[in-house]
Chain A
Amino acid sequence: MKIIEFNGVDHVFPDGTKPLQNISLSIEEGTLHFVVGPSGSGKTTLLNLLLGLYQPAEGEIWVNQCNICVLSERQLTLYRQHIGTVFQQNNLIPHRTVFENVAMPLWLRGVERREVQRIVVQMLGEVGLTGFEEVLPLHLSSGDQQRVAIARALITGPRIVVADEPTGNLDRQLAGSVTQLLKHQTTLGVTVIMVSHDEELTKFADTISRLEPALNKIGTSTLK
């Protein structure tokens, strides 16, 4: 079943730049989908459109049979609560502990305190960070910080996880282990959309979209 569909999507920045033009794409549920391409090809813009952080100039984006382009800001806020997000850096709030960072989406949903404690401890165990609850993110390695971010993305049990270059700051071995962690989620029915520069990691992908800047000056991207 297709869980995400982009139908003829264009995006225009306020300065007139068009990072994406006429993008059509569909992603099956429970797969690890890679979006690859060089810098400036519009990979992050694609994810921001999927998160409802940008509104497309043209076209529609359907997520779980819902057109997110027509949602109000309040509805988009609720929508984002059902999507896990991981970024390349600045994922975590530095003055909050690992526990607090991971628990945040649950607090936003008003989950009871004891239940939060149970779920967070279990999730940290799943990403291999048991015992790090009270540690501040700055005291963790880059790989562990990404694990915390992944734990936070998965804590509410989302059906979709969006990861924008989550391995960008990691060495090859750590990048492999983080990607594997995300790949494992697909066996639980989670759909993961991951942006990456690293062609090597595409071996974990179920499907791949390749964005390439077109030859015109406005940097239009086409999907292959």
Chain B
Amino acid sequence: MLVHVVMTFFVMLLIGVSIALPSGLWVIRDYLSYADLAWPTERGFNVFFESEATETQINSTAQTIRNHNFVIEAYLIPKSVALQEFLIAADLPDIAEGMAENPLPDTLTVLVKENIQVVEVERLTDFIRRLETVDQVSYDAQITVRFNAIHTIFNRMLWVVAGTFCLFALFVSASAVRIAIESRFHEIRILHVIGSPGRITRGPFLWCGFMYGTLGGILAAVLLTLVLMFVEEPLRTLTASYGVGRDLQNLDWTFVGILCAIGAFLGLSSALYSSWRHLQRVTRNWVI
């Protein structure tokens, strides 16, 4: 009995780990994407204004930029707000009082349309650089392209890892169901000979696979919560360095539900395959 319980736990743990690993990567990627505005993208750049520029001048220049055909959105971060955000993110809230002057410039974050080429964005930034009161435009096409390539590689690797681990979970669950079938072969044969319909014979094994998967999903959620608690601090430091202050949220019920659903789907499909394949041996190679 104890051996059976331990075995069941290990099966669920293996499925849980298989689900937790890609899910964990996904959660971290999702979290880091919040820092996107501070990172370079092909579709965005920052415009820094001269420190002497007045509010009216800045608003007028910002409006000129907003009116450009390529621009879909441009929002202003006043230097006072930028300083406040920076000090909070850097965990230095009291420093502001001792500062004689705000060293940060007013900033306009600009997003351009999706279908605009890098060359055209560069043309736009050249145009903005020539505008009155504009000090700098931070747009480095090379870095942007590299960064986006890395981003794409990471995303694709995430799918590869997820696919590989899903296959692993399927294999583990299918093997566990096969062992369950083999350990009850005698009972299955009796059921077959007294006329048990396939759905009744298969039922317990499908249920078994479903439970392995669902409980594996719950274990994945537990593991993920533990891992996120462990990496929360360095992640917060990383994102704070990009000027984004956001706590790593605990997994919500929807996410836990999705993990369980993925686990249940994997468990059930592997049990369907395994029971179909191995129960056939009872009916096809009948030897009493």
The answer to whether A105 and B186 touch (CB under 8 A), given A73-B283, A87-B288, A164-B288, is no
- Which 4 pairs from chain A and chain B are nearest by CB? A81-B195, A80-B195, A53-B286, A93-B187
A77 / chain B contacts, CB cutoff of 8 Å: 195-198
Is the C-beta of B167 less than 8 angstroms from some C-beta in chain A? Answer: no
For the complex, what is the distance from the CA of A164 to the CA of B288, rounded to whole Å?
A: 10
12 contacts between A and B (CB under 8 A): A44-B288, A54-B286, A77-B195, A77-B198, A78-B195, A80-B195, A81-B194, A81-B195, A91-B190, A93-B187, A104-B191, A108-B194
Of B186, B189, B200, B286, which contacts A108 at CB under 8 A? B200
For the complex, what is the distance from the CA of A80 to the CA of B200, rounded to whole Å?
A: 15
Of A73, A85, A94, which contacts B194 at CB under 8 A? A85
| B286 adjacent to A79 (CB under 8 Å) | no
| B283 adjacent to A80 (CB under 8 Å) | no
Q: Chain A: residues with CB nearer than 8 A to chain B? A: 44, 48, 51, 53-54, 73-74, 77-83, 85, 87, 90-94, 104-105, 108, 152, 164
| A93 adjacent to B186 (CB under 8 Å) | yes
Is the C-beta of B193 less than 8 angstroms from some C-beta in chain A? Answer: yes
Q: How many pairs of residues, A versus B, come closer than 8 Å at their CB atoms?
A: 51
For the complex, what is the distance from the CA of A108 to the CA of B198, rounded to whole Å?
A: 11
Which residues in chain B, 185-214, are within 8 Å of chain A measured between CB atoms?
186-187, 189-198, 200
The answer to whether A80 and B193 touch (CB under 8 A), given A48-B288, A87-B288, is yes
| A108 adjacent to B197 (CB under 8 Å) | yes
A73 / chain B contacts, CB cutoff of 8 Å: 283
B192 / chain A contacts, CB cutoff of 8 Å: 80
| A48 adjacent to B286 (CB under 8 Å) | yes
| A79 adjacent to B194 (CB under 8 Å) | no
Chain A's nearest CB lies how many Å from the CB of B275? 15
A91 / chain B contacts, CB cutoff of 8 Å: 190
Chain B's nearest CB lies how many Å from the CB of A214? 22
For the complex, what is the distance from the CA of A83 to the CA of B193, rounded to whole Å?
A: 9
User: In the complex, what residue of chain B is closest to A109 when comparing beta carbons?
Assistant: B195
Known A93-B187, A108-B196, A164-B288; further 9 A-B contacts with Cβ < 8 A: A48-B288, A51-B193, A77-B196, A80-B195, A90-B186, A90-B190, A104-B194, A108-B200, A152-B194
User: In the complex, what residue of chain B is closest to A81 when comparing beta carbons?
Assistant: B195
B193 / chain A contacts, CB cutoff of 8 Å: 51, 53, 80, 85
Chain B's nearest CB lies how many Å from the CB of A41? 16
Chain B's nearest CB lies how many Å from the CB of A123? 14
User: In the complex, what residue of chain B is closest to A44 when comparing beta carbons?
Assistant: B288
B194 / chain A contacts, CB cutoff of 8 Å: 80-81, 85, 104-105, 108, 152
Chain B's nearest CB lies how many Å from the CB of A196? 15
| A79 adjacent to B195 (CB under 8 Å) | yes
For the complex, what is the distance from the CA of A48 to the CA of B189, rounded to whole Å?
A: 13
User: In the complex, what residue of chain B is closest to A53 when comparing beta carbons?
Assistant: B286
User: In the complex, what residue of chain A is closest to B288 when comparing beta carbons?
Assistant: A87
A74 / chain B contacts, CB cutoff of 8 Å: 197-198
For the complex, what is the distance from the CA of A82 to the CA of B187, rounded to whole Å?
A: 19
For the complex, what is the distance from the CA of A104 to the CA of B188, rounded to whole Å?
A: 12
User: In the complex, what residue of chain B is closest to A92 when comparing beta carbons?
Assistant: B190
For the complex, what is the distance from the CA of A86 to the CA of B276, rounded to whole Å?
A: 27
For the complex, what is the distance from the CA of A91 to the CA of B192, rounded to whole Å?
A: 12
User: In the complex, what residue of chain B is closest to A88 when comparing beta carbons?
Assistant: B288
Give B259-288 as 1s and 0s: 1 = Cβ < 8 Å from A's Cβ atoms.
000000000000000000000000100101
Chain A's nearest CB lies how many Å from the CB of B90? 65
A79 / chain B contacts, CB cutoff of 8 Å: 195
A51 / chain B contacts, CB cutoff of 8 Å: 193
